[in-house]
């Protein structure tokens, strides 16, 4: 019998993806036994805005049903990802007087309330308030201050807010699909949970998750999250570049990109040609694979340039000892790591969800599943902390009993 099931739900621009796992292992950094993965094409979403809630609901339902079928179990709630350029992150400080001589759990709760108490306009909501460190009197960099002697307790929290409409739309679509949002999680944070190691976060690392219409960035050093941003660029622009550069329809360009493109021209044999549709129907023409790679490389070069400037503006470039970890659907392009190495002049690796995952872990070991797997891992962390947030078999049985009772009377 399965217990403590956690589901992650990533609603991307092109695909909606659900991952179901069972919590296991070390309570401090719990793992997941992957039981099911489901994927469907996202409908009803254009950029950040929902154009058709019914279509979006259908995508959510389809991906979760597929994951449930594979898992042989049902879930009633999900950890859903949220991203987009309406997201803002900042640090906030809180200070309180220690009520007794020693810091108690109670003081920590109070200092969090103070640090979180920022005025939010009605169109924004608080997504996360992540404690970064504590200070007791003059001593800084404390991870757990309980039991320390002092008079003044300070905390620094990383606050993430998002637009209320975007959050409401996700909750509404998930509810219509027959599930409940347990927590909305910022996509870059979920991705980082799946692909970065604790050591890398300590030494300094930046995750770059390249999707279809967005690129998520999350940078860490000294074990703390320092910067997150969702940039409005991604793999879709590569496709439109190929549409323009090769005068072919969008669907053909997408296929050519996913089959033959590379982000680093040097990797491609200059003599190799591929067949693409010609100017009139039933006509074919030969195109050098190098040309496709060249078009794609130019745009990827620009994209990494934007990331680099972003990191420079935040004074993060010199702090990333462990370099860059690249993931997201577009990271499947061969040569992405090679190009990034050249641009960042830093260690670069390719990231897929793997660490802490067991069971059918192979089925999520692809860069396009980083966010969905990270959402499920985020849920596992929450469950280890609070004992809450998992779908229980009992509730499944209860709903079935409810339906039976309704049918009976
Ligand atoms: N083998 C491949 N080579 C190149 N690009 C690929 C490959 N496979 C997928 N992609 C591209 O990856 C993108 C989809 O990535 P992903 O699934 O991470 O995006 P998404 O989550 O739907 O979108 P977003 O996160 O931007 O909202 C598409 O642009 C797709 O063309
Ligand atoms: Mg995505």
Nearest Cα residue to 155 out of 177, 174, 126, 132: 132
pLDDT for the residue numbered 343: 97
pLDDT value of position 407: 45
250-260 and 235-246 helices cross at what angle (nearest 10)? 110
- Please indicate, yes or no, whether residues 206 and 328 belong to a single structural domain of this protein: yes
Report whether residue 258 contacts ligand 1, using a CB cutoff of 6 Å: yes
- Whether ligand 1 lies within 6 angstroms of the CB of 328 is answered as yes
Spacing, Cα 297 to ligand 2 middle (Å): 21
Query: Is 56 among the domain residues?
Result: no
pTM over 0.75: yes
204 shares its domain with 157 = no
What local confidence, expressed as pLDDT, does residue 280 receive? 79
Q: What is the 3-state secondary structure (H, E, C) of the chain?
A: CCCCEEEEEEECCCEEEEEEEEEECCCCCCEEEEEEEEEEECCCEECCEECCHHHHHHHHHHHHHHHHHHHCCCCCEEEEEECCCCCEEEEEEEEEECCCCECCHHHHHHHHHHHHCCCCCCCEEEEEEEEEEEEECCEEEECCCCCCECCEEEEEEEEEEEEHHHHHHHHHHHHHCCCEEEEEEEHHHHHHHHHCCHHHHHHCEEEEEECCCCEEEEEEECCEEEEEEEECCCHHHHHHHHHHHHCCCHHHHHHHHHHHCCCCHHHCCCCCEEEEECCCCCCEEEEEHHHHHHHHHHHHHHHHHHHHHHHHHCCCHHHCCCCEEEECHHHHCCCHHHHHHHHHCCCEEECCCCCCEEECHHHHCCHHHHHHHHHHHHHHHHHHHHCCCCECHHHHHHHHHHHHHHHHC
Rounded Cα distance, 195 and 187, in Å: 12
List, in sequence order, every residue forming a beta bridge with 81; answer none if it has no partner: 185
User: Distance, CA 391 to ligand 1 centroid (Å)?
Assistant: 30
Query: Cα dist. 251→85, 243, 331 in Å?
Result: 27, 9, 20
Q: Is any atom of ligand 1 closer than 6 Å to the C-beta of 329?
A: yes
CB 44 within 8 A of CB 59: yes
CA nearest ligand 1 atom 25, residue? 211
Q: Which pLDDT score is estimated for 1? A: 67
Residue 288 token pair = 């050098």
Task: Decide whether any atom of ligand 1 lies within 6 Å of the 300 Cβ.
Answer: no
Q: Are residues 158 and 211 in the same domain?
A: no
Asked if residue 222 belongs to a domain, the reply is yes
Rg, C-alpha atoms of the chain: 23
CA–centroid distance, 13 to ligand 2, in Å, is 7
Residues 217 and 142 placed together within one structural domain of the fold:
no
Counting from 1 in the atom list of ligand 1, the atom nearest the Cα of 10 is 21
A 10 A CB-CB count for 180 gives 14
Does ligand 1 come within 6 angstroms of the Cβ of 211? Answer: yes
Predicted local confidence at residue 393, as pLDDT: 60
- pLDDT score at 292: 97
Looking at the domain assignment, is residue 334 inside a domain? yes
Whether residue 117 is found in the same domain as residue 208: no
Query: For residue 15, which atom of ligand 1 is closest to its CA?
Result: 22
Ligand 1 pocket member 14 (CB < 6 A): yes
Q: How far apart are CA 207 and CA 201, in angstroms?
A: 10
Shared domain check, 228 and 101: no
| Co-location of 257 and 321 in the same domain | yes
Ligand 1 atom nearest 236 alpha carbon: 29
Task: Identify the domain boundary among 336, 351, 366.
Answer: 351
Which of 207, 260, 262, 257 is CA-nearest to residue 237? 257
Q: Separation of 235 CA from ligand 1 center, angstroms? A: 6
Q: List the CATH number of the domain containing 126.
A: 3.30.1490.110
Decide whether any atom of ligand 1 lies within 6 Å of the 182 Cβ: no
Which residues have a beta carbon within 5 Å of ligand 2, which is an ion?
12, 211
- Domain end residue (candidates: 351, 368, 385): 351
| Per-residue pLDDT, 140 | 92
Do 292 and 208 share a structural domain? yes
Q: Does ligand 1 come within 6 angstroms of the Cβ of 235?
A: yes
Q: Tell me, yes or no, whether 121 lies in a domain.
A: yes
Pair 150, 103: CB distance under 8 Å: yes
Q: What is the CATH number of the domain that holds 333?
A: 3.30.420.40
CA distances from 3 to 92, 327, 359, 394 (A): 37, 31, 14, 9
**Domain boundaries, position 122:** 88-162
Residue 366 lies in a domain: no
Tell me if 291 is assigned to some domain.
yes
Residues 218 and 300 in one domain: yes
In a domain, 406, yes or no: no
Q: Two tokens at 4? A: 């403590």
Q: Which of 189, 211, 292 to mutate to test the pocket of ligand 1 (most atoms within 8 A of CB)?
A: 211
> Whose CA is closest to atom 5 on ligand 1?
330
Residue after which a domain boundary falls, among 313, 331, 351: 351
Instruction: Report, as ranges of residue numbers, the positions in the chain whose pLDDT lies below 70.
Output: 1, 48, 393-409
Q: Flag whether 134 is in a domain.
A: yes
Q: Are residues 246 and 338 in the same domain?
A: yes
The number of residues in the chain equals 409
Write down the pLDDT at residue 149: 95
327 CA distance to ligand 1 middle (Å): 10
Q: Do 249 and 302 have their domain in common?
A: yes
Contact predicate 62/18, CB 8 Å: no
User: Are 202 and 147 members of one domain?
Assistant: no
Question: How much is the pLDDT for 111?
Answer: 96
> How many domains would you assign to the chain?
2
Report which of 126, 98, 130 is spatially closest to residue 111, judged by C-alpha positions: 98
- Using CA atoms, how far apart are residues 301 and 212, in angstroms rounded to an integer? 16
Task: Give the distance (Å) from ligand 1 centre to CA of residue 213.
Answer: 8
User: Which residues make Cβ contacts (< 8 Å) with residue 170, sequence separation at least 6?
Assistant: 11, 80, 82, 181, 184
């Amino acid at each position: 019998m399965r217990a403590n099931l956690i589901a992650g739900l990533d609603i991307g621009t092109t695909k909606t993806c659900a991952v179901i796992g069972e919590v296991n292992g070390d309570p401090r950094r719990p793992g997941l036994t992957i039981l099911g993965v489901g994927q469907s094409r996202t409908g009803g979403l254009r950029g950040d805005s929902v154009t058709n809630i019914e279509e979006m609901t259908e995508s959510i339902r389809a991906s979760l049903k597929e994951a449930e079928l594979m898992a042989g179990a049902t879930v009633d709630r999900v950890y859903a990802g949220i991203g987009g350029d309406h997201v803002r992150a900042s640090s906030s400080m809180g200070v309180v007087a220690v009520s007794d001589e020693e810091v108690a759990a109670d003081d920590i709760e109070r200092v969090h309330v103070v640090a979180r108490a920022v005025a939010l306009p009605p169109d924004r909501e608080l997504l996360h308030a992540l404690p970064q460190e504590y200070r007791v009197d003059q001593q800084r960099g404390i991870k757990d201050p309980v039991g320390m002697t002092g008079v003044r307790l300070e905390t620094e929290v990383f606050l993430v807010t998002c637009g209320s409409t975007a959050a409401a739309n996700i909750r509404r679509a998930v509810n219509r699909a027959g599930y409940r949002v347990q927590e909305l999680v910022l996509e870059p944070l979920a991705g980082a949970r799946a692909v970065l190691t604790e050591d890398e976060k300590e030494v300094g690392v930046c995750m770059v998750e390249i999707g279809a219409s967005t690129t998520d960035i999350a940078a860490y050093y000294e074990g703390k999250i320092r910067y997150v941003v969702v940039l409005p660029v991604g793999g879709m622009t590569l496709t439109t570049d190929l549409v323009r550069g090769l005068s072919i329809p969008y669907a053909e360009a997408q296929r050519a990109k996913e089959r033959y493109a590379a982000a680093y021209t040097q990797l491609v044999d200059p003599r190799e040609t591929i067949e693409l549709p010609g100017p009139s129907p039933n006509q074919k023409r030969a195109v050098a694979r190098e040309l496709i790679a060249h078009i794609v490389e130019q745009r990827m070069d620009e994209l990494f340039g934007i990331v680099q400037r972003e990191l420079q503006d935040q004074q993060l470039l010199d702090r990333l000892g462990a370099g860059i970890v690249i993931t997201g659907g577009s990271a499947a392009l061969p040569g992405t790591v090679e190009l990034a190495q050249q641009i960042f002049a830093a260690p670069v690796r390719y990231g897929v969800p793997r660490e802490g995952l067991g069971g059918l872990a192979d089925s999520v070991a692809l860069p396009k599943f980083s966010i969905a797997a990270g959402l499920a891992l985020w849920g596992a962390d929450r469950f280890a902390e609070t004992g809450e947030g998992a779908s229980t078999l009992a509730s499944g049985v209860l709903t079935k009993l409810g339906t039976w009772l309704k049918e009976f009377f």
